[in-house]
């Protein structure tokens, strides 16, 4: 598989192109790194290519907060400026004066 550079970074707020959820990126895999069971659970007609970055999100929709694993092709930047409510965000990120989310120094590597 040909590896590509990630379009998004840890701390970026993104939303899904097709589904009504958004979140903040807390980890990036340079290519697919989940289980085959997870992969096969995606309908074939919308299954993304494995040879692209995949992002771990602290995600939320109108009803709940959760962790999501999403391919780069299915994400776009969220420019809404609406604060995220996922309670795990405060455990991983500090908010810079600019509003940008930065990993807490104790977690950075």
Q: What is the DSSP letter of 108?
A: -
CA distance 34 to 15: 20
CATH class of the region 13-103? mainly beta
CB 22 within 8 A of CB 84: yes
Spatial separation of the C-alpha atoms in residues 46 and 4, rounded to whole Å: 20
> Distance between CA 40 and CA 34 in Å, rounded?
11
Q: What is the dihedral of CA 70, 71, 76, 81, to 10 degrees?
A: 30
β-bridge partners, 14: 23, 77
The pTM assigned to this predicted structure is: 0.89
Q: What is the pLDDT of residue 109?
A: 52
pLDDT of 95 reads 87
- CA–CA separation, 103 vs 92, rounded Å? 6
Structure confidence at residue 107 (pLDDT): 52
> Which pLDDT score, from 0 to 100, does residue 51 have?
92
* pLDDT score, position 40: 92
pLDDT for the residue 2: 57
- Residue in the block written with tokens 């809404």: 80
Domain map of the chain by residue range?
13-103
Residue 71 φ/ψ, nearest 5 degrees: -70, 150
pLDDT, tens digit only, all 109 positions of the chain: 455 789 999 999 999 999 999 999 999 999 999 999 999 998 888 899 999 999 999 999 999 999 999 999 999 999 998 999 999 999 999 988 777 899 987 655 5
């Amino acid at each position: 598989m040909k590896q590509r550079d990630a379009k998004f970074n840890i701390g970026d707020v993104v939303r899904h192109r097709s589904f009504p959820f958004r979140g903040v990126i807390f980890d990036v895999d340079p290519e697919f790194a989940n289980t085959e069971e997870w992969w096969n659970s995606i309908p074939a007609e919308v299954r993304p290519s494995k040879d692209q970055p995949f992002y771990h999100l602290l995600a939320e929709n109108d009803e709940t907060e959760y962790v999501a694993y999403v391919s780069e092709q299915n994400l776009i930047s969220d420019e809404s400026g609406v604060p995220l409510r996922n309670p795990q965000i405060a455990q991983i990120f500090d908010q810079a004066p600019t509003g940008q989310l930065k990993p807490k120094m104790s977690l950075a590597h």
